[in-house]
Chains A and B, each alone.
Chain A
Amino acid sequence: MAVSPFACTSPDDEKAMLASIGAKTFDDLFAHIPAEFQSNDFNLPEGLSEMEMMQHIRAVARKNSSDLTNFCGAGFYDHFIPAAVNSLTSRGEFFTAYTPYQPEAAQGTLQAMFEYQTAIARLTNMEVSNSSLYDGGTALFEGMMMALRITKRNRVLVDEGVSPIYRTMLRSYTRNLKIEYREVSMSGGVADRAAFAKQLDSTVGAVLLQNPNFFGCLDDLTDLIAQTHSAGAIAVVSAYPISLGIVKTPGEMDADIVTGDGQSLGLPLSFGGPYLGFMATKKKYVRNMPGRIVGATKDGQGRRGFVLTLQAREQHIRREKAASNICTNMQLCALRSVVYLSLLGKHGFADVARQCMDRAGYAWTRLKSIKGVEPLYDRPFFNEFALKLPKDAGEVVSDLISEGIAAGFPAGRYYTGMENVLLCAFTEKRTKMEIDILAAKLESVL
């Protein structure tokens, strides 16, 4: 008889159990399903032992080259992850639990979520946070939908500095909805105030911005957000959480909704996921926020405990009228973030941000001094900036890959007329020597 490698019943158990329910064989359990519904034709390999499986996956994994020196960011960054993050979050009590439907049996998960919400609120300078969404792109979409629910309007203005990876997602998601989605060109590397002023009228419900933007440029969005508010619209700002260790926060600029990807907070790049989307807002908008939210309360004896709260917003109660279709959050990833933030702490976290900025600052001086290389925008940046090269940036990247360097991301992949633009990112992991080598190699191929 076929064996299920992880099932726990012995052949004798199975015989007795089948008999106890009046069946002789496993096929009897499916006898009520018409035979013509069943298939015997599964073209799959024979099962492997654990050892064989690991040998196979190791061999496949070795076809990757993970030891490149990486200067490619574009919203997803190679940060250092302290060992305790993996060690704590790989505890089975955390990762083999599920959604805390029974709060008395899930105080570990619930309290960690409450601590995560607190950390996100403090990073962004916002009043409340949910307990995470899928990723930065879907979080921005959810932020946009939330803004439209609040304002009961249907027009959206999106700055072109918002990640093009996210904008392609927004375009897909808005296609079937009664939403007028419009992108606004940048001016000099930041959001174009005049263009926004022209288009911001009483039909606009949401203004979507990003800081630092896709080109790494920093901006103080306070004026644009004030302008958004005077048109009666909601300002949604997508942020890079590590930058919040040092740069002016969306909360300080009076943003209404802050979203972003939490990948940089202790999550490996892992070829694209799982990551986590975060979302924070003002308290007055919390009932319009999607996703799970944890709140503090007390038990009968007055002991503090935590529960999922404000559930009347959610799909399992509201069904097609829910704030979102989202069910699960990214709990384990959110746990990684709060452990990461706790390990670094108030000062360590700011230090990481400063280190990133320091590395980028050094590289800026070094790279723009290469003959033929110019900054695309001469604006303040955090850890990433765009350079105009004398030749196709895609070609340059391709040349340097064979030297073991991912030199950056060619902006021409998403922006027309930017074929020569290279976007370079720097984290605390990049050393002076690596940056010097990047500069030398870059010089040699130009």
Chain B
Amino acid sequence: MKLIYEISSKGRGGVRIPEDRISEHDIISENLLRATPAELPEVSESEVVRHYTKLSRRNYSVDTHFYPLGSCTMKHNPRACEAAASLPDLCETHPLWPQLRHGGLLTQGSLQILYSLERMLSEITGLAEFTLQPMAGSHGELTAVMMMAAYHRDRGNKKTHIIIPDSAHGTNPASAALGGYAVVTIPSDASGDMDIELFKKALNNETAGVMLTLPSTLGVFNPRVKEIIKAVHEVDGLMYYDGANFNAIMGRIKPGELGFDLCHLNLHKSFSTPHGGGGPGTGPVGVCEKLRPYLPISRVAKTKDGTYTLDYDFPKSIGYIAPFYGNFAILVRAYAYLLMLGRDGLRATSDRAVLNANYVQEKLRPYFAAVTKGRCMHECVFSGKTLGEGVHTLDLAKALLDRGYHAPTIYFPLNVPEAIMIEPTETETRETLDAFCKDMIEIFELSKTDPDAVHAAPVTTPVGRLDEVAAAKNMELVYQAP
């Protein structure tokens, strides 16, 4: 398909901008102007609309396809949340208004939403207070690591490293490093949990904290989590809960009550804000009582007279980590979603996410090597080692595309060879899950009888398998007109 630049035609224009001039002010001098206009496309509105509509149809999405991408929680995005976030009173407020004197009165609605959402997230996680500022999950991790560092500095602790299991998302070690810590990686044991003996060996007085995903990226709930937390607290370390998999335990388990000191939540996962093709995400961070002083500024507060205000006077705070108050329009969506779920809906949601994953796990267990013998949580992980000779998980993924499914997450977690990670979410029907499992089994069988057919996939997508090596070698990263 052509690029928007390739359908550009000299002299064509899209949206008209008024041409009136009201100024007699001299145009700035030549040396401060660009030499030639930026070569943006010259296209009519109808061409732009057709081009991007056509492009949209070259995507698989939750709206159009089952999308069991493990660890990403690709659930349905209720349209009411979109409608709430699009209200002009919410979209058209300038973030600096509440920082003007008496400006807080102009944005009471927005501040109330932030305050209410913070309280709800605190209640759901059992933590004392939240910051909504982090703009993605990984940004939340970094914010949390910065708070760990501030805590230890304040206490005069000499801490050098953070402990992370090898099954963690790559963002955990990367965030720890950006927070100034070395990373100690602990291998997983046979059940997929962090090896507790190796963990205990690595833990010492220089351990700043441990970052744990629960349930783990294998979809398994670590039954010894309290033992780990106790040991970490004994060396004045901090326990960090990575909320990537929170969709498994909402309304049942509060990380704060288990003893976690900090946690981030991915609102674009558990709380149903759209993934947007890869962002914007949002990763609010909650902390326990003793870490409150270190939260980023500003903080939203409710005054005695019931109005909302921004507070800045927290001398121990890590400071500013975002320009304003987070991805507000995303936060509104999560707030709307939580209002509709309510107390009982929250638990009912996780219950069904876990049911769907176990249902798929048991249906596929006879064919693929499940990593767990028992129950999984909200996702199930298999190894594709049982596929026919020479057929790999990648081939299975491509064959699924041909059958109208987005592929599961593959080759992650890294500690499972040929990993296939399936997260159905609660927003799928039994019929969809049945059909998906049937197709998985058919591909499994095809991999034994006709491996070439599986290797050839995908054939129904707009393009076939793409040459990624050539992409990295040629580095054609922007369009060059011929």
* Chain A CB within 8 A of B187 CB: no
* Chain A CB within 8 A of B237 CB: no
Task: Give the CA-CA distance A94 to B61 in the complex, in Å.
Answer: 7
Which of chain B's residues 126-151 have a Cβ closer than 8 Å to chain A?
A: 126, 135-139, 141-142, 146, 149
Given contacts A220-B32, A286-B475, contact A327 B137 (CB under 8 A): yes
- Chain B contacts for A122, CB-based, 8 A: 38-40, 478
A362 touches B25 (CB 8 A): yes
B462 touches A64 (CB 8 A): no
Total interface residues on B, CB under 8 Å, equals 205
* Chain A CB within 8 A of B171 CB: yes
- Chain A contacts for B412, CB-based, 8 A: 316
Which of chain A's residues 346-388 have a Cβ closer than 8 Å to chain B?
A: 346-352, 355, 357-362, 364-365, 380-382
* Chain B CB within 8 A of A324 CB: yes
Task: Give the CA-CA distance A105 to B358 in the complex, in Å.
Answer: 27
Given contacts A72-B97, A88-B53, contact A63 B109 (CB under 8 A): yes
* Chain B CB within 8 A of A300 CB: yes
A114 touches B429 (CB 8 A): no
Residue among A96, A100, A305, A435 with max Cβ neighbours from chain B (10 Å): A96
Task: Give the CA-CA distance A91 to B53 in the complex, in Å.
Answer: 8
Task: Give the CA-CA distance A56 to B337 in the complex, in Å.
Answer: 13
- Chain B contacts for A105, CB-based, 8 A: 59-60, 65, 401, 406-407, 458, 461
A20 touches B359 (CB 8 A): yes
Which of chain B's residues 217-255 have a Cβ closer than 8 Å to chain A?
A: 221, 223, 225-226, 251-254
In the complex, per-residue mask of B95-118: 1 if CB is within 8 Å of any chain A CB, else 0: 111011111011111101100000
* Chain B CB within 8 A of A328 CB: yes
A309 touches B471 (CB 8 A): yes
* Chain A CB within 8 A of B275 CB: yes
Which of chain B's residues 426-460 have a Cβ closer than 8 Å to chain A?
A: 426-430, 432, 458
* Chain B CB within 8 A of A138 CB: yes
Shortest Cβ distance from residue B261 to the other chain A in the assembled complex, whole angstroms: 17
Other-chain contact of A134, B139, B178, B354 (Cβ < 8 Å): B139
Given contacts A122-B39, A342-B14, contact A39 B126 (CB under 8 A): yes
* Chain B CB within 8 A of A297 CB: yes
* Chain A CB within 8 A of B170 CB: yes
Question: How big is the A interface, by class?
Answer: 35 or more
Which residue of chain A has its CB nearest to the CB of B282? A274
A14 touches B277 (CB 8 A): no
- Chain A contacts for B63, CB-based, 8 A: 92-93, 96
Task: Give the CA-CA distance A420 to B180 in the complex, in Å.
Answer: 40
B478 touches A4 (CB 8 A): no
- Chain B contacts for A286, CB-based, 8 A: 475, 477
Given contacts A63-B109, A268-B91, contact A331 B42 (CB under 8 A): no
Task: Give the CA-CA distance A84 to B323 in the complex, in Å.
Answer: 28
- Chain B contacts for A338, CB-based, 8 A: 4
B471 touches A296 (CB 8 A): yes
- Chain A contacts for B374, CB-based, 8 A: 32
B323 touches A169 (CB 8 A): yes
Task: Give the CA-CA distance A357 to B22 in the complex, in Å.
Answer: 10
B319 touches A327 (CB 8 A): no
In the complex, per-residue mask of A129-161: 1 if CB is within 8 Å of any chain B CB, else 0: 101101111100000000000000000000000
- Chain A contacts for B52, CB-based, 8 A: 88, 91, 112, 339, 342
Given contacts A4-B348, A123-B38, contact A365 B24 (CB under 8 A): yes
A99 touches B106 (CB 8 A): no
* Chain B CB within 8 A of A298 CB: yes
Residue among B45, B83, B324, B427 with max Cβ neighbours from chain A (10 Å): B324
Task: Give the CA-CA distance A105 to B3 in the complex, in Å.
Answer: 18
- Chain A contacts for B223, CB-based, 8 A: 32-34
B281 touches A328 (CB 8 A): yes
B59 touches A109 (CB 8 A): yes
A82 touches B93 (CB 8 A): no
Shortest Cβ distance from residue B299 to the other chain A in the assembled complex, whole angstroms: 14
Other-chain contact of A327, B35, B138, B458 (Cβ < 8 Å): B138
Given contacts A53-B339, A108-B57, contact A95 B277 (CB under 8 A): yes
Inter-chain pairs besides A64-B108, A271-B325, 19 sampled, C-beta below 8 Å: A5-B341, A6-B427, A42-B124, A53-B80, A58-B87, A75-B323, A88-B49, A218-B28, A270-B329, A271-B329, A272-B95, A273-B323, A305-B462, A310-B472, A335-B276, A346-B42, A398-B102, A401-B100, A401-B103
11 intermolecular pairs with C-beta atoms under 8 Å apart: A1-B348, A26-B351, A50-B340, A70-B94, A300-B465, A322-B170, A327-B170, A344-B40, A362-B25, A380-B32, A401-B102
Report, nearest first, the 10 A-B pairs whose CB atoms are least far apart.
A47-B342, A361-B25, A272-B324, A332-B276, A92-B63, A176-B180, A361-B23, A272-B95, A172-B319, A274-B280
